[in-house]
Structure 1
Amino acid sequence: MKIVVVGGTGLIGSKLVTKLGEHGHEAVAASPNTGVDTLTGEGLEEVLTGAQVVIDVSNSPSFEPAAVLEFFETSTGNLLAAEAAAGVGHHVALSVVGTERMPENGYFRAKIAQEQLIEKSGRPFSLVHATQFFEFVRGIADEATDDDKVRIAPVRFQPIAGDDVARAVGRVAVGSPLNGRVEVAGPEQFRMDEFFREALAGWNDPREVVTDPHALYFGSTPGERTLVPGDGATLGEIRYSDWPGRNATGK
Protein backbone atom coordinates (compact mmCIF):
# COMPACT_ATOMS: atom_id res chain seq x y z
CA MET A 1 0.00 0.00 0.00
CA LYS A 2 1.34 3.45 -0.90
CA ILE A 3 0.99 5.78 2.08
CA VAL A 4 2.09 9.40 1.83
CA VAL A 5 3.12 10.93 5.15
CA VAL A 6 2.81 14.72 5.06
CA GLY A 7 5.28 16.09 7.56
CA GLY A 8 7.16 12.85 7.04
CA THR A 9 10.57 14.24 8.00
CA GLY A 10 9.45 15.51 11.42
CA LEU A 11 9.32 13.83 14.83
CA ILE A 12 6.21 11.69 14.36
CA GLY A 13 6.36 11.58 10.56
CA SER A 14 9.83 10.05 10.42
CA LYS A 15 8.80 7.39 12.94
CA LEU A 16 5.70 6.64 10.86
CA VAL A 17 7.67 6.27 7.64
CA THR A 18 10.02 3.81 9.34
CA LYS A 19 7.29 1.75 11.03
CA LEU A 20 5.08 1.57 7.93
CA GLY A 21 8.07 0.54 5.83
CA GLU A 22 8.88 -2.22 8.31
CA HIS A 23 5.36 -3.58 7.75
CA GLY A 24 5.82 -3.75 4.00
CA HIS A 25 4.10 -0.53 2.94
CA GLU A 26 5.48 2.00 0.49
CA ALA A 27 5.74 4.91 2.91
CA VAL A 28 6.69 8.21 1.28
CA ALA A 29 7.80 11.23 3.31
CA ALA A 30 6.29 14.45 1.94
CA SER A 31 7.63 17.77 3.24
CA PRO A 32 9.37 20.88 1.92
CA ASN A 33 12.62 18.95 2.46
CA THR A 34 11.47 16.38 -0.11
CA GLY A 35 10.03 18.88 -2.58
CA VAL A 36 6.41 18.84 -1.39
CA ASP A 37 4.86 22.07 -0.09
CA THR A 38 1.23 21.84 0.98
CA LEU A 39 0.99 25.63 1.36
CA THR A 40 1.73 26.24 -2.32
CA GLY A 41 0.66 22.85 -3.66
CA GLU A 42 4.12 22.22 -5.08
CA GLY A 43 4.78 18.52 -5.62
CA LEU A 44 1.39 17.32 -4.37
CA GLU A 45 0.13 15.90 -7.66
CA GLU A 46 3.30 13.91 -8.19
CA VAL A 47 3.63 12.50 -4.67
CA LEU A 48 -0.04 11.48 -4.45
CA THR A 49 -0.04 9.51 -7.69
CA GLY A 50 -0.98 5.94 -6.80
CA ALA A 51 -1.43 6.66 -3.09
CA GLN A 52 -4.18 4.89 -1.19
CA VAL A 53 -3.70 6.76 2.11
CA VAL A 54 -2.48 10.18 3.17
CA ILE A 55 -1.40 10.80 6.77
CA ASP A 56 -1.06 14.45 7.74
CA VAL A 57 1.21 15.01 10.74
CA SER A 58 2.51 18.37 9.53
CA ASN A 59 2.72 21.38 11.82
CA SER A 60 2.83 25.13 11.44
CA PRO A 61 6.28 26.76 11.57
CA SER A 62 4.69 29.59 13.60
CA PHE A 63 2.38 29.26 16.61
CA GLU A 64 1.15 32.87 16.34
CA PRO A 65 -2.67 32.49 16.23
CA ALA A 66 -3.30 34.05 12.81
CA ALA A 67 -0.31 32.30 11.23
CA VAL A 68 -1.16 28.85 12.57
CA LEU A 69 -4.79 29.21 11.47
CA GLU A 70 -3.71 30.22 7.98
CA PHE A 71 -1.29 27.29 7.83
CA PHE A 72 -3.81 24.61 8.71
CA GLU A 73 -6.61 26.04 6.59
CA THR A 74 -4.45 26.53 3.50
CA SER A 75 -2.43 23.33 3.83
CA THR A 76 -5.43 21.13 4.56
CA GLY A 77 -7.51 22.69 1.78
CA ASN A 78 -4.76 22.09 -0.79
CA LEU A 79 -4.16 18.58 0.45
CA LEU A 80 -7.83 17.54 0.37
CA ALA A 81 -8.27 18.94 -3.14
CA ALA A 82 -5.19 17.11 -4.40
CA GLU A 83 -6.34 13.87 -2.74
CA ALA A 84 -9.74 14.11 -4.44
CA ALA A 85 -8.06 14.57 -7.82
CA ALA A 86 -5.75 11.62 -7.18
CA GLY A 87 -8.47 9.32 -5.85
CA VAL A 88 -6.90 8.82 -2.42
CA GLY A 89 -9.23 6.68 -0.32
CA HIS A 90 -8.31 7.61 3.26
CA HIS A 91 -7.19 10.89 4.86
CA VAL A 92 -5.70 10.54 8.34
CA ALA A 93 -4.87 13.61 10.44
CA LEU A 94 -3.09 13.86 13.77
CA SER A 95 -4.74 16.32 16.14
CA VAL A 96 -4.75 17.13 19.85
CA VAL A 97 -6.78 15.81 22.78
CA GLY A 98 -8.81 18.66 24.26
CA THR A 99 -9.10 20.96 21.21
CA GLU A 100 -12.83 21.43 21.79
CA ARG A 101 -12.32 22.06 25.52
CA MET A 102 -9.96 25.02 25.11
CA PRO A 103 -11.15 26.91 22.00
CA GLU A 104 -9.74 30.20 23.32
CA ASN A 105 -6.27 28.80 22.64
CA GLY A 106 -5.10 29.95 19.20
CA TYR A 107 -3.39 26.67 18.31
CA PHE A 108 -6.33 24.56 19.42
CA ARG A 109 -8.68 26.84 17.48
CA ALA A 110 -6.61 26.27 14.34
CA LYS A 111 -6.72 22.50 14.83
CA ILE A 112 -10.52 22.68 15.18
CA ALA A 113 -10.67 24.56 11.87
CA GLN A 114 -8.49 21.87 10.27
CA GLU A 115 -10.75 19.10 11.56
CA GLN A 116 -13.88 20.85 10.33
CA LEU A 117 -12.42 21.13 6.82
CA ILE A 118 -11.71 17.41 6.83
CA GLU A 119 -15.12 16.46 8.21
CA LYS A 120 -16.96 18.58 5.64
CA SER A 121 -14.80 17.54 2.69
CA GLY A 122 -16.72 14.41 1.79
CA ARG A 123 -13.44 12.44 1.80
CA PRO A 124 -13.15 9.25 3.90
CA PHE A 125 -11.15 10.24 6.98
CA SER A 126 -9.86 9.38 10.42
CA LEU A 127 -8.80 11.84 13.12
CA VAL A 128 -6.31 10.75 15.78
CA HIS A 129 -6.34 12.97 18.88
CA ALA A 130 -3.16 12.52 20.90
CA THR A 131 -2.11 13.91 24.27
CA GLN A 132 1.15 15.81 24.64
CA PHE A 133 4.33 13.96 23.63
CA PHE A 134 7.09 13.02 26.08
CA GLU A 135 9.45 14.70 23.62
CA PHE A 136 7.85 18.09 24.32
CA VAL A 137 7.87 17.91 28.12
CA ARG A 138 11.03 20.01 28.42
CA GLY A 139 9.58 22.63 26.06
CA ILE A 140 6.44 22.85 28.20
CA ALA A 141 8.58 23.48 31.28
CA ASP A 142 10.54 26.18 29.47
CA GLU A 143 7.35 27.86 28.26
CA ALA A 144 5.99 27.86 31.82
CA THR A 145 9.16 29.36 33.35
CA ASP A 146 9.01 32.80 34.95
CA ASP A 147 12.07 34.04 36.88
CA ASP A 148 13.43 30.50 37.38
CA LYS A 149 10.06 29.28 38.64
CA VAL A 150 8.07 26.81 36.54
CA ARG A 151 4.39 27.61 37.07
CA ILE A 152 2.21 24.57 36.46
CA ALA A 153 -1.51 24.07 37.08
CA PRO A 154 -2.61 21.15 39.29
CA VAL A 155 -4.64 19.50 36.50
CA ARG A 156 -4.65 16.03 34.98
CA PHE A 157 -1.87 15.22 32.50
CA GLN A 158 -1.39 12.03 30.46
CA PRO A 159 1.56 12.42 28.07
CA ILE A 160 2.53 9.80 25.49
CA ALA A 161 5.76 8.67 23.81
CA GLY A 162 6.20 9.67 20.19
CA ASP A 163 6.78 6.01 19.26
CA ASP A 164 3.37 5.11 20.69
CA VAL A 165 1.74 7.96 18.75
CA ALA A 166 3.31 6.73 15.52
CA ARG A 167 2.16 3.17 16.18
CA ALA A 168 -1.41 4.30 16.86
CA VAL A 169 -1.58 6.54 13.79
CA GLY A 170 -0.11 3.78 11.62
CA ARG A 171 -2.71 1.26 12.78
CA VAL A 172 -5.52 3.68 12.00
CA ALA A 173 -4.05 4.48 8.60
CA VAL A 174 -3.99 0.87 7.38
CA GLY A 175 -7.54 0.22 8.60
CA SER A 176 -10.88 1.34 7.24
CA PRO A 177 -11.67 5.07 7.55
CA LEU A 178 -13.34 5.87 10.87
CA ASN A 179 -15.13 8.96 9.56
CA GLY A 180 -14.69 10.04 13.15
CA ARG A 181 -12.00 10.26 15.79
CA VAL A 182 -10.01 8.12 18.20
CA GLU A 183 -8.05 9.36 21.22
CA VAL A 184 -4.59 8.10 22.16
CA ALA A 185 -2.73 8.79 25.39
CA GLY A 186 0.05 7.50 27.59
CA PRO A 187 -0.54 4.55 29.95
CA GLU A 188 -0.36 6.71 33.10
CA GLN A 189 -2.19 9.77 34.30
CA PHE A 190 -0.50 12.32 36.57
CA ARG A 191 -1.20 15.59 38.29
CA MET A 192 0.61 17.98 36.02
CA ASP A 193 2.50 19.98 38.66
CA GLU A 194 3.67 16.81 40.41
CA PHE A 195 4.78 15.29 37.10
CA PHE A 196 6.93 18.30 36.29
CA ARG A 197 8.38 18.44 39.78
CA GLU A 198 9.63 14.87 39.34
CA ALA A 199 10.72 15.47 35.74
CA LEU A 200 12.86 18.46 36.64
CA ALA A 201 14.40 16.53 39.51
CA GLY A 202 15.30 13.80 37.02
CA TRP A 203 17.06 16.39 34.84
CA ASN A 204 18.90 17.83 37.89
CA ASP A 205 17.20 21.07 36.93
CA PRO A 206 17.40 23.68 39.74
CA ARG A 207 14.21 25.48 38.74
CA GLU A 208 11.39 25.37 41.30
CA VAL A 209 8.02 24.02 40.16
CA VAL A 210 5.26 26.20 41.61
CA THR A 211 1.71 24.88 41.80
CA ASP A 212 -0.44 27.63 40.32
CA PRO A 213 -4.15 27.05 39.53
CA HIS A 214 -4.01 30.03 37.17
CA ALA A 215 -0.87 28.94 35.32
CA LEU A 216 -1.09 29.18 31.54
CA TYR A 217 -0.56 26.29 29.16
CA PHE A 218 0.71 27.90 25.95
CA GLY A 219 -1.40 30.98 26.56
CA SER A 220 -4.55 29.45 28.08
CA THR A 221 -5.57 28.11 31.48
CA PRO A 222 -6.45 24.39 31.27
CA GLY A 223 -9.30 22.86 33.23
CA GLU A 224 -9.01 19.75 35.37
CA ARG A 225 -9.56 17.38 32.41
CA THR A 226 -8.75 19.59 29.40
CA LEU A 227 -5.54 17.73 28.54
CA VAL A 228 -6.62 14.12 29.16
CA PRO A 229 -8.77 11.82 27.05
CA GLY A 230 -12.23 10.50 27.75
CA ASP A 231 -13.16 6.87 28.39
CA GLY A 232 -12.20 4.40 25.70
CA ALA A 233 -8.94 6.01 24.63
CA THR A 234 -6.20 3.85 23.14
CA LEU A 235 -3.31 3.78 25.59
CA GLY A 236 0.36 3.60 24.70
CA GLU A 237 2.76 1.03 26.10
CA ILE A 238 5.74 3.18 27.13
CA ARG A 239 5.75 4.65 30.63
CA TYR A 240 7.55 7.94 31.17
CA SER A 241 9.80 6.28 33.76
CA ASP A 242 10.89 3.78 31.09
CA TRP A 243 11.25 6.28 28.25
CA PRO A 244 14.93 6.56 27.18
CA GLY A 245 14.79 10.34 26.74
CA ARG A 246 13.45 11.20 30.18
CA ASN A 247 16.84 12.18 31.63
CA ALA A 248 18.35 13.72 28.51
CA THR A 249 20.48 16.72 29.33
CA GLY A 250 20.28 20.06 27.60
CA LYS A 251 17.32 22.04 26.28
Structure 2
Amino acid sequence: MKNISGAFVCLTSRVAEYLATAKFSSIRRACITQTNTPNGVQFSPDIEKKIKSSTNLDDLLDVLAESPFWSWIDLRLLEALVAASGSSKCDTLISSYKEAIFSRKLIDILPNVPSKELKEKYYMKIVSKLDKEADDITVADLLEFRSQLEVVIMDIKNGICVLDHFKDGCVEIHWYIPAEIVDHAYQTASIQYHKFHELHLQYLQIGSFPPIYNPLMMRLPQLESVPSLPDIADTMTII
Protein backbone atom coordinates (compact mmCIF):
# COMPACT_ATOMS: atom_id res chain seq x y z
CA MET A 1 0.00 0.00 0.00
CA LYS A 2 1.48 3.33 -1.09
CA ASN A 3 -0.53 5.49 1.31
CA ILE A 4 1.17 5.26 4.71
CA SER A 5 -1.73 6.88 6.55
CA GLY A 6 -4.18 4.43 4.99
CA ALA A 7 -2.02 1.46 5.96
CA PHE A 8 -1.85 2.63 9.58
CA VAL A 9 -5.60 3.32 9.75
CA CYS A 10 -6.28 -0.15 8.36
CA LEU A 11 -3.96 -1.71 10.92
CA THR A 12 -5.41 0.12 13.92
CA SER A 13 -8.99 -0.55 12.81
CA ARG A 14 -8.43 -4.27 12.49
CA VAL A 15 -6.55 -4.46 15.79
CA ALA A 16 -9.38 -2.55 17.50
CA GLU A 17 -11.84 -5.25 16.41
CA TYR A 18 -9.86 -7.88 18.33
CA LEU A 19 -9.25 -5.60 21.31
CA ALA A 20 -13.00 -5.19 21.72
CA THR A 21 -13.19 -8.74 23.07
CA ALA A 22 -10.38 -8.23 25.59
CA LYS A 23 -10.68 -6.99 29.17
CA PHE A 24 -10.74 -3.18 29.00
CA SER A 25 -9.14 -2.56 32.40
CA SER A 26 -6.07 -4.58 31.36
CA ILE A 27 -5.73 -2.62 28.12
CA ARG A 28 -6.05 0.74 29.88
CA ARG A 29 -3.53 -0.34 32.51
CA ALA A 30 -1.05 -1.23 29.77
CA CYS A 31 -1.21 2.38 28.59
CA ILE A 32 -0.87 3.87 32.06
CA THR A 33 2.22 1.79 32.87
CA GLN A 34 4.01 2.99 29.71
CA THR A 35 5.49 5.91 31.65
CA ASN A 36 7.29 3.51 34.01
CA THR A 37 8.31 1.03 31.30
CA PRO A 38 11.86 1.08 29.87
CA ASN A 39 11.67 2.74 26.44
CA GLY A 40 7.96 3.28 27.01
CA VAL A 41 5.91 6.24 25.84
CA GLN A 42 6.08 9.42 27.94
CA PHE A 43 2.62 11.01 27.86
CA SER A 44 1.96 14.67 28.52
CA PRO A 45 0.02 15.27 31.77
CA ASP A 46 -3.14 16.10 29.80
CA ILE A 47 -3.08 12.85 27.81
CA GLU A 48 -2.24 10.76 30.88
CA LYS A 49 -5.20 12.24 32.76
CA LYS A 50 -7.55 11.44 29.86
CA ILE A 51 -6.28 7.86 29.66
CA LYS A 52 -6.97 7.27 33.36
CA SER A 53 -10.50 8.67 33.06
CA SER A 54 -11.47 6.71 29.92
CA THR A 55 -14.26 4.21 30.54
CA ASN A 56 -14.34 2.13 27.36
CA LEU A 57 -12.14 1.07 24.45
CA ASP A 58 -13.44 3.66 21.99
CA ASP A 59 -12.79 6.51 24.44
CA LEU A 60 -9.30 5.18 25.13
CA LEU A 61 -8.42 4.82 21.44
CA ASP A 62 -9.68 8.36 20.78
CA VAL A 63 -7.37 9.65 23.51
CA LEU A 64 -4.41 7.68 22.18
CA ALA A 65 -5.06 9.06 18.70
CA GLU A 66 -4.45 12.53 20.19
CA SER A 67 -1.06 11.41 21.47
CA PRO A 68 1.98 12.26 19.33
CA PHE A 69 3.18 8.69 19.88
CA TRP A 70 0.20 7.13 18.05
CA SER A 71 1.65 7.15 14.54
CA TRP A 72 2.49 5.04 11.51
CA ILE A 73 6.14 4.75 12.56
CA ASP A 74 5.77 4.41 16.34
CA LEU A 75 3.92 1.23 17.24
CA ARG A 76 4.78 1.03 20.93
CA LEU A 77 1.30 1.95 22.15
CA LEU A 78 -0.38 -0.42 19.76
CA GLU A 79 2.00 -3.21 20.75
CA ALA A 80 1.32 -2.55 24.44
CA LEU A 81 -2.43 -2.89 23.87
CA VAL A 82 -1.93 -6.09 21.90
CA ALA A 83 0.32 -7.55 24.60
CA ALA A 84 -2.35 -6.84 27.21
CA SER A 85 -5.04 -8.47 25.07
CA GLY A 86 -3.00 -11.62 24.42
CA SER A 87 -4.23 -11.73 20.82
CA SER A 88 -1.96 -13.74 18.52
CA LYS A 89 -3.93 -12.50 15.51
CA CYS A 90 -3.03 -8.92 16.41
CA ASP A 91 0.62 -9.92 16.70
CA THR A 92 0.44 -11.28 13.17
CA LEU A 93 -1.17 -8.07 11.88
CA ILE A 94 1.55 -5.89 13.40
CA SER A 95 4.32 -8.15 12.12
CA SER A 96 2.89 -8.01 8.60
CA TYR A 97 2.62 -4.22 8.80
CA LYS A 98 6.25 -3.88 9.92
CA GLU A 99 7.45 -6.18 7.18
CA ALA A 100 5.60 -4.16 4.54
CA ILE A 101 6.32 -0.63 5.81
CA PHE A 102 9.67 -0.68 7.61
CA SER A 103 11.49 -2.09 4.59
CA ARG A 104 10.29 0.77 2.35
CA LYS A 105 12.73 3.45 1.19
CA LEU A 106 11.98 7.01 2.30
CA ILE A 107 12.01 8.15 -1.31
CA ASP A 108 9.02 5.88 -1.96
CA ILE A 109 6.88 7.16 0.90
CA LEU A 110 7.80 10.85 1.15
CA PRO A 111 4.72 12.21 -0.67
CA ASN A 112 2.38 10.29 1.62
CA VAL A 113 3.91 10.73 5.06
CA PRO A 114 1.63 12.65 7.45
CA SER A 115 3.00 15.43 9.66
CA LYS A 116 2.17 15.52 13.37
CA GLU A 117 2.46 19.34 13.56
CA LEU A 118 2.30 19.44 17.33
CA LYS A 119 1.15 22.72 18.82
CA GLU A 120 1.27 21.58 22.41
CA LYS A 121 3.18 23.59 24.99
CA TYR A 122 4.91 20.44 26.16
CA TYR A 123 7.03 19.92 23.00
CA MET A 124 9.70 21.73 21.03
CA LYS A 125 10.99 20.99 17.54
CA ILE A 126 14.45 19.77 16.56
CA VAL A 127 15.87 19.45 13.05
CA SER A 128 18.48 16.92 11.95
CA LYS A 129 20.00 17.00 8.47
CA LEU A 130 21.72 13.92 7.08
CA ASP A 131 24.39 13.63 4.43
CA LYS A 132 22.40 10.86 2.76
CA GLU A 133 19.75 10.62 0.06
CA ALA A 134 16.19 9.44 0.68
CA ASP A 135 16.68 6.48 -1.64
CA ASP A 136 19.53 5.22 0.59
CA ILE A 137 17.42 5.10 3.78
CA THR A 138 14.65 2.71 4.79
CA VAL A 139 12.07 3.31 7.50
CA ALA A 140 13.95 0.79 9.67
CA ASP A 141 17.14 2.84 9.12
CA LEU A 142 15.27 5.95 10.25
CA LEU A 143 14.23 4.24 13.48
CA GLU A 144 17.83 3.17 14.13
CA PHE A 145 19.01 6.74 13.47
CA ARG A 146 16.42 8.05 15.93
CA SER A 147 17.69 5.69 18.61
CA GLN A 148 21.33 6.76 18.10
CA LEU A 149 20.35 10.43 18.00
CA GLU A 150 18.51 10.11 21.29
CA VAL A 151 20.86 7.92 23.29
CA VAL A 152 24.31 8.70 21.87
CA ILE A 153 24.03 12.34 20.79
CA MET A 154 21.45 13.91 23.13
CA ASP A 155 21.51 11.50 26.09
CA ILE A 156 17.73 11.31 26.32
CA LYS A 157 15.39 8.36 26.69
CA ASN A 158 15.18 5.99 23.74
CA GLY A 159 11.97 6.52 21.74
CA ILE A 160 11.20 9.99 23.09
CA CYS A 161 11.60 11.79 19.74
CA VAL A 162 8.35 12.21 17.82
CA LEU A 163 8.69 12.28 14.04
CA ASP A 164 7.09 15.35 12.51
CA HIS A 165 8.07 15.16 8.84
CA PHE A 166 11.08 14.99 6.55
CA LYS A 167 12.25 16.58 3.33
CA ASP A 168 13.81 15.05 0.25
CA GLY A 169 17.32 15.61 -1.11
CA CYS A 170 19.88 15.46 1.64
CA VAL A 171 17.33 14.23 4.14
CA GLU A 172 16.19 16.83 6.67
CA ILE A 173 14.20 15.25 9.50
CA HIS A 174 12.01 17.26 11.85
CA TRP A 175 11.22 15.87 15.30
CA TYR A 176 9.57 16.93 18.55
CA ILE A 177 10.94 16.36 22.04
CA PRO A 178 9.50 17.32 25.44
CA ALA A 179 10.28 20.96 26.27
CA GLU A 180 11.70 20.14 29.69
CA ILE A 181 14.62 18.14 28.24
CA VAL A 182 15.64 20.60 25.51
CA ASP A 183 18.40 22.26 27.57
CA HIS A 184 19.93 18.91 28.51
CA ALA A 185 19.69 17.62 24.94
CA TYR A 186 21.44 20.71 23.59
CA GLN A 187 24.21 20.70 26.17
CA THR A 188 24.95 17.02 25.56
CA ALA A 189 24.83 17.33 21.76
CA SER A 190 27.26 20.27 22.00
CA ILE A 191 29.73 17.90 23.65
CA GLN A 192 29.02 14.89 21.43
CA TYR A 193 29.16 16.71 18.08
CA HIS A 194 32.39 14.86 17.23
CA LYS A 195 30.20 11.74 16.84
CA PHE A 196 27.96 13.33 14.20
CA HIS A 197 29.94 11.72 11.37
CA GLU A 198 29.02 8.24 12.65
CA LEU A 199 25.35 9.05 11.96
CA HIS A 200 26.05 10.94 8.69
CA LEU A 201 24.66 13.95 10.54
CA GLN A 202 25.43 17.33 8.96
CA TYR A 203 23.87 19.47 11.64
CA LEU A 204 21.39 19.37 14.51
CA GLN A 205 19.21 22.24 15.69
CA ILE A 206 17.46 21.81 19.02
CA GLY A 207 14.65 24.19 19.88
CA SER A 208 15.70 27.84 19.62
CA PHE A 209 19.38 27.08 20.22
CA PRO A 210 21.83 27.71 17.34
CA PRO A 211 22.57 24.75 15.05
CA ILE A 212 25.38 22.36 15.98
CA TYR A 213 27.47 21.38 12.95
CA ASN A 214 29.46 18.30 12.12
CA PRO A 215 33.05 19.63 12.14
CA LEU A 216 34.06 17.22 9.36
CA MET A 217 31.39 18.59 7.02
CA MET A 218 31.79 22.31 7.60
CA ARG A 219 32.67 24.18 4.44
CA LEU A 220 35.82 26.16 5.08
CA PRO A 221 36.59 29.12 2.79
CA GLN A 222 39.08 28.37 0.03
CA LEU A 223 42.40 30.15 0.51
CA GLU A 224 43.65 32.05 -2.49
CA SER A 225 46.53 30.27 -4.13
CA VAL A 226 49.91 31.78 -3.32
CA PRO A 227 52.44 31.91 -6.15
CA SER A 228 55.28 29.50 -5.53
CA LEU A 229 58.59 31.10 -4.67
CA PRO A 230 61.66 30.28 -6.70
CA ASP A 231 64.10 27.88 -5.19
CA ILE A 232 66.60 29.85 -3.17
CA ALA A 233 69.44 27.99 -4.86
CA ASP A 234 68.37 29.45 -8.21
CA THR A 235 68.67 33.01 -6.90
CA MET A 236 72.15 32.67 -5.43
CA THR A 237 75.01 34.21 -7.36
CA ILE A 238 78.04 32.00 -7.56
CA ILE A 239 81.20 34.08 -7.10
For the superposition of Structure 1 and Structure 2, which TM-score range results when normalised by the shorter chain? under 0.3
TM norm structure 2: 0.25
More strand by share: 1
Which entry has the higher C-alpha Rg, 1 or 2? Answer: 2
